[in-house]
Chain A
Amino acid sequence: MKFDLNKFIAKTLAVGVYSSMFLFCVAIIESFFKKSNVLDRSFFGIMNGLIALDPNATLFAGIVILMLTPVVRVLFLAIGYFIEGDLRFCFYSILVLLILIFSVYFGVH
């Protein structure tokens, strides 16, 4: 089957949005059973909270997935252009990705 970059990117975006919406729904259900005052935004804090079915941690996980969706889309665009042999736009995508990583880095630190 021929590689279709448009379908690949469209699916990436849809999966990102639906996963975060799913986590938001789970968090709202969790909040009926458990009150959460946890506001740990670190990676491990969110992961531990997810396992403990903490509503706030589940919400943060949904938010982080939503924020990462465009980042992953840029990464997959770079891979897609590389597969298609379109090296100029592969390079542009990598540059955008580096700018986004810079933003993530300064967001965290």
Chain B
Amino acid sequence: MFEIALVLMGMLSGIFGALLGIGGGTFVVPLLVIFLHYPIHQAVAISLISIIATSSSVASVNVYNKITNMRLGVTLELATTLGAIAGSFIGTFLKGNVIALIFSFVMAFIAYFMYFHKDNEQATSIVQTKSIYASSYFDYALNKNIEYDVKNLGAGLAISAFAGAFSGMLGIGGGVLKVPAMNAFCKVPIKVAAATSNFMIGVTAAAGAFIYFGKGYIEKPLYVALIVFGVILGSKLSMPIIKKVSPARVKNIFILFLIYLAIEMFVKGVK
């Protein structure tokens, strides 16, 4: 029975994450901790591994279709992996209730951000002198090739390091920080920002996962497998759902759910 609950939790995380566009990781930890009373460090370790699985399977498609900017990805990975290692070390030393409290604040911030944020859909203006990161991708929705350049790499690196640290500490992907940052500061089109962030998340999560794995936080490998299956199944199932319902319409319901989870995590942290 517990095994079925794990697959269901994974599926719910995959569906919610895909519908909100923030990846399954944000939901795995709170669902495991609140509903299955899972120790938070083990939940973070499982979440990081499920992030590697979803990131790698999605990145494979985006890289093949040349939407991902791999040059930008590998440059920002320098910052995000260092951040992830630092975050994981801090995370493994912190008490469970402190992580729960930090998690609840980050979730509240994500909910606030998701409610007010609007993506900058406009492509950047093409300047005469192109940087080495300048690239193009074919937008199937617009049916045309879109050229773009990357600006303010320093800001991208700083936010990537910050996102990496939260990823390692809390077992979230960090895409919720990186995608809007790449879009707003680096002037990268939103689709490229999402694909490139997803490409980096696998490496960020791996940097953190090795530390949790080595410290013995993966006690029940079967549970990891079941949740990974659930998350992958959930993110695949969400694709037809996204086509049928407008994500913008369901967004507010998920934001309310996110706030509920933040409050529950806060209560766990205070206890």
Contact = CB atoms under 8 A, between A and B. Distances in A.
Contact size range, A: 35 or more
A55 B223 CA distance: 12
A107 B45 CA distance: 12
Given A6-B64, A13-B57, A66-B52, A92 B78 contact: yes
A50 interface: no
Name A's interface SS: helix
A8 to B, nearest CB: 9
B263 interface: no
B132 A59 contact: no
Contacts of B75: 89, 92
Nearest to B223: A59
A7 B56 CA distance: 14
Interface stretch (B109-117, B212-220, B241-249): B212-220
Q: Of B53, B84, B85, which is in contact with the most chain A CB atoms at under 10 Å from its CB? A: B53
Given A10-B63, A96-B81, A106 B52 contact: no
A63 B48 CA distance: 11
B17 to A, nearest CB: 17
Contacts of A24: 225, 228-229
B131 to A, nearest CB: 12
Contacts of B78: 92, 95-96, 99
Contacts of B186: none
A96 B74 contact: yes
Interface in A44-94: 55-56, 59-60, 62-63, 66-71, 73-74, 77, 88-89, 92-93
Given A27-B222, A71-B206, A89 B71 contact: yes
B60 A96 contact: no
Interface of A: 5-7, 9-11, 13-14, 16-17, 20-21, 24, 27-28, 31, 39, 41, 55-56, 59-60, 62-63, 66-71, 73-74, 77, 88-89, 92-93, 95-96, 99-100, 102-104, 106-109
A6 B222 contact: no
13 contacts: A6-B70, A17-B56, A24-B228, A63-B225, A66-B49, A67-B49, A67-B210, A70-B206, A74-B74, A100-B210, A103-B88, A103-B208, A109-B214
**Which 9 residue pairs are nearest across A and B when measured between Cβ atoms?**
A107-B214, A107-B210, A59-B221, A10-B64, A13-B60, A24-B225, A70-B202, A70-B206, A70-B203
Nearest to A71: B206
B85 A99 contact: yes
A60 B221 contact: yes
A72 to B, nearest CB: 10
B256 to A, nearest CB: 33
Given A89-B74, A95-B78, A9 B213 contact: no
Nearest to B75: A92
B213 A67 contact: yes
A9 B57 contact: no
B59 interface: yes
Contacts of B228: 21, 24, 66
Interface string B181-225: 000000000000000000000110111111111111011011011
Contact of B81 (A6, A59, A103, A109): A103
Given A27-B225, A92-B77, 7 more contacts: A6-B66, A10-B60, A17-B60, A41-B218, A59-B222, A99-B82, A107-B212
A14 B216 CA distance: 27
Given A27-B222, A41-B213, A108-B214, A99 B57 contact: no
